Amino acid sequence: MPVELQWGARTHVMGIVNVTPDSFSGDGLATPDRDITAVVEAALEQARAFVDAGAELLDVGAESSRPRNAYGDHPDVDAETEAALAVPVVRALVAELGDRAMVSIDTSKGAVARAALDAGATMVNDVWAARRDPGTAEAAAAAGAHLVLMHNREGIDYPDGVFASVVGWLREAVAAAEDRGVHRDRLIVDPGIGFGKGSDENLELLHRLGELKAALDGLPMLVGTSRKRFLGELLGGAQPDDRVEGTAATVALAIAAGADIVRVHDVAQMARVRTVADAVVRR
């Protein structure tokens, strides 16, 4: 039977399935030596392990969303190329694991969102909150799918303060998504840790996460801190694959502050963190 999200009853773990050649975290599955068949099989192998470890969501992305202000310029991927990688993976994951995990498409393009939803995805995770292409919201509305609206921007200047800016921006994104037909009970907000923010801004938002959720009327919140650059800075220059303890700390603290979904690379470890944090927080 389809997976249902239980807001407030538990924290859900979202495993990151990167079918890109250039992920910041070094876990992109679309390596030069793999054709699409091999990419799909690699994604299936990873996803099986994620679900066995406790992930309830699988987030498939075929374009690196790493922030340019932190990682430098990188080429955009057109919708056809993105869909050619993402959609076969979505279809395979839904076919094999769809009764155990919800499959999400990580895209900011309406055409890719529509194709992935047609292939069985039931969530759209848009790092630009349907602002760059309202088609992602329209696709989610037509399919009755969940839509994640993440705060994002190119620069890191916040003259009115990062907290007020993020709250105002996400309120506008929520209203726009509802205007395009997405039911409120399908909306999820994401403060966009690491996107258009420096370390100070990231830490302030994490410190005030419970306040942020309340300011957004208690909408379900996704938090993604996994392997992010600010963790490396706090840990003395640790590389992405050496940030597991930093990720664990932020995951536990996010759960304590009311996060409903944590989006992570290291699913086995973070699912265990979730289990312990939930046992304390959700008594």
Task: Please list the active-site residues.
Answer: 228, 263
**Phi/psi of residue 105, each to 5°?**
-110, 125
**Which amino acid, residue 239?**
Q
Distances (CA, A) of 86 to 67, 73, 75, 114: 20, 22, 17, 12
Distances (CA, A) of 266 to 14, 50, 156, 262, 272: 10, 9, 28, 11, 10
How is residue 282 written in tokens? Answer: 């959700």
Cα dihedral 256, 257, 263, 265 sign: negative
Longest dimension (CA), the chain: 49
Q: Would you list the DSSP string of 147-199?
A: EEEE---S----TT-HHHHHHHHHHHHHHHHHHTT--GGGEEEE--TTSS--H
Residues 147/177, Cβ–Cβ less than 8 Å:
yes
What Rg value do the Cα atoms of the chain yield, rounded?
17
Torsion of CA 124, 132, 240, 123, to 10 degrees: 0
